[in-house]
Amino acid sequence: MKDPYQNRRLVIGGIILFTGILYLIRLLILQVLDTSYKLSAESNSRQREIEYPGRGLILDRNGKVLASNEPVYDLMMIPRKTESFDTLALCSMLGIQRAELDKGIQSALQYSRYKPYPVVRQIDARRFAILEEQLFKYKGFYVQTRTRRIYPEGIASHVIGYMGEIDLNEIRQDPYYAVGDYLGQSGLELQYEKELRGRKGIRYQLVDVFNQVKGSYEGGRYDTLPEPGKNLLTTLNSELQKYGELLMTHKSGSIVAIEPATGEILCMVSSPSFDLNKLTGRERTRQFEALSADTLEPLFNRATMSRYAPGSIFKIVQALIGLDLGVIRPQTGFKCDKSLIGCHNHPEATNLKKAIQYSCNPYFYQVYRRIILRRQSSNIFTDSELGLADWQKKVMSFGLGQLLQIDLPGVSPGFIPGPEFYDTWYGRHRWAFSTIYSNCNGQGEVETVPVQIANLAAIIANRGYYYVPHFIRSIGEKGELPEVYRMPHHPDVNAAYYPVVINAMRAVIYEPSGTGRRAQVPGVIVCGKTGTVQNNQGEDHSGFFAFAPMQHPAIAISVYVEHAGSGGFWAAMIASLMMEKYLNGEVTQAEKEKMVLEYKQF
């Protein structure tokens, strides 16, 4: 009789045989063909080290190095491999206090008993040379080579930015990083972190029982080479930047200069500033805490974050919008009626040019009134709402009240009020022109940022267009400029009206009763406008913007000096010196320079 279970036994036997063959093949791969598992088995004699790439350099527009690197060394500890050691001798070699070493060891134990942790960071080359000879005495310790930033010129701190150690939240967001890594925390260092950082490599080395390296593992078969970070060629003119920082010494404020034809930022000065070289190395934490506690706020970038009322500089925008809407003509004159709004004494503003030249407040009260109340509705509240909405749209087309896509983190948008804002503040149909007239001269609720004002100067210099201000010229060897910085933007105003205000801005500098005569530059025709910015906390701010030369503009500039009074004085003089330095290569106005350098606010 045939065994009814014979087929079942054959199937089961076949499965067992097949499974056994699979196991044999897998064992052959693991033990003979694939040596990667051998790495784990030999972990006691093999040391895995990260090879950190050189961070990309940051250069000025002429190739001068603004940020580079130097080697430093971290003392790494793997807690489970350590044995008792002479802590005092180790502290002596490293030049540190026992408390610092104990803190590092405690952090390592809390982090992991199996993973390396940097217990002492950024050891300099001299200390490393001493440590290297004695390291074999300290089982479970090894040295990790890194680089740290150095800043040869010591300028443009707010633009270049500083580095800082990564925290656990940042590691979770980007697994590229590990404990002890440094990355950009501000400025270009943060904006272009991924381009600058490069890519890490890995090196496996054989070590003996004394923790001394005996050579590479498997001839470097499993090593990967680090890939250096890309260099950044910036738009900064280091000589102009250096001079601007000198002029702003002991003053609060900013200078921003732009090349109108390209949108390239030639310099960006924020004062008071700080020394980037003090935010590297072992003393970084202490120095950063001191800067953070400083009441003068040296870490704050006034050029991109300060929101000021633009003051009379804003009259240029009002003039262009008024002309474009047809509510005024170049020949339009208004009486300087101080009962409408306060003004200084000056000749009668019988046309637009003279109104800008004299900076007549009542004149631009009337211009703004005509812009807002255009009889689009018989209801004064609705008419004001419609007029303000049109005005807001046109003002924002100049890059005001919005985020310019400048390649720096933390740029403020400023603020241009619209109907929604006043509806929230006062209630719908509870406000009209008489409520908001203080906007007419760049006061009221209007807020702008210095870099926006420099860009406004570039728009006028270009007769009606701008490129987004930026710091990058190229990334790496053949890096192309991002498209956002190659696209022209055109404000919502007919280009035919720009020559009218340009001629008036020339008159501000050169004709009688012009408010900006201190901005003159020898041999160059300058067009500019002063702005005295009302301030509720102390003396008014001094503001000025300009471009030069008049016919073929090469520089557009804004200057703000906080608590310095009239815009036609300190801000205008600083702008004059900066423009002469850039256009002529040297400064001949010795008396003006002396006055600026001797003026100190702190």
State the DSSP string of 431-457: --HHHHGGGGGT-TT-BB-HHHHHHHH
Cα 49 to Cα 206: distance, rounded to the nearest angstrom? 11
Could you tell me the pLDDT band of residue 16, with boundaries at 50, 70 and 90? confident
Q: What pLDDT, on the 0 to 100 scale, is given for residue 28? A: 65
CA distance to 319, 324, 351, 356, 508, per residue, from 329 (Å): 9, 9, 8, 13, 19
Average pLDDT, the chain: 91
Q: Name residue 48's beta-bridge partners.
A: 204
Q: Is the pLDDT of residue 39 over 50?
A: no
Radius of gyration (C-alpha) of the chain in whole angstroms: 33
Pairing mode, if any, of strands 58-59 and 65-77? antiparallel
Helix (H) or strand (E) segment spanning residue 341: none
CATH class of 48-234: alpha beta
Q: What is the mean pLDDT of residues 377-386?
A: 97
Q: Is the pLDDT of residue 36 over 60?
A: no
Nearest to 449 by CA among 570, 558, 561: 558
Q: Which two tokens stand for residue 261?
A: 């034809």
Crossing angle of helices 498-510 and 450-461, in 10° steps, is 110
Nearest to 555 by CA among 263, 347, 223, 170: 263
Q: What pLDDT, on the 0 to 100 scale, is given for residue 454? A: 98
Contact 180, 74 (CB under 8 A): yes
CA distance to 85, 119, 157, 211, 557, per residue, from 116 (Å): 17, 9, 33, 14, 51
Least confident of 83-97, 264-278, 390-404, 409-423: 83-97
Cα 34 to Cα 184: distance, rounded to the nearest angstrom? 40
* Long-range interactions of 339-343: CB distance < 8 A, separation 24+: 340/365, 340/366, 341/365, 341/437, 341/440, 341/441
Decide whether 48-234 matches 238-274+301-598 in CATH topology: no
Q: What pLDDT, on the 0 to 100 scale, is given for residue 533? A: 86
DSSP state string for 85-123 = --HHHHHHHHT--HHHHHHHHHHHHHH-SSS-EEEEEEE
Could you tell me the pLDDT band of residue 32, with boundaries at 50, 70 and 90? low
Q: What pLDDT, on the 0 to 100 scale, is given for residue 9? A: 65
DSSP state string for 356-400 = HHHT-HHHHHHHHHHHH--SS-SSHHHHHHHHHHHHHHHHHTTT-
Express as a percent the part of the chain with pLDDT over 70.
92
Q: Which two tokens stand for residue 264?
A: 């390239």
Q: Is the pLDDT of residue 601 over 80?
A: yes
CATH class of 238-274+301-598: alpha beta
Nearest to 268 by CA among 228, 291, 301, 246: 301
CA distance to 405, 407, 548, per residue, from 484 (Å): 8, 10, 26
Q: What pLDDT, on the 0 to 100 scale, is given for residue 504? A: 98
The 10s digit of each residue's pLDDT in 564-583 is 999 999 999 999 999 999 99
C-alpha distance across the termini of the chain, in Å: 113
Could you tell me the pLDDT band of residue 175, with boundaries at 50, 70 and 90? confident
Q: Is the pLDDT of residue 219 over 70?
A: no
CB-based contacts of 380, cutoff 8 Å, min separation 6: 373, 432, 433
Could you tell me the pLDDT band of residue 169, with boundaries at 50, 70 and 90? confident
Contact 119, 98 (CB under 8 A): no
Q: Domain residue spans in the chain?
A: 48-234, 238-274+301-598
Q: Is the pLDDT of residue 57 over 90?
A: yes
The 10s digit of each residue's pLDDT in 453-462 is 999 999 999 9
Nearest to 363 by CA among 336, 328, 325, 326: 336
Cα 204 to Cα 381: distance, rounded to the nearest angstrom? 76
The 10s digit of each residue's pLDDT in 108-156 is 999 988 888 999 998 988 999 999 889 988 988 989 888 899 999 999 9
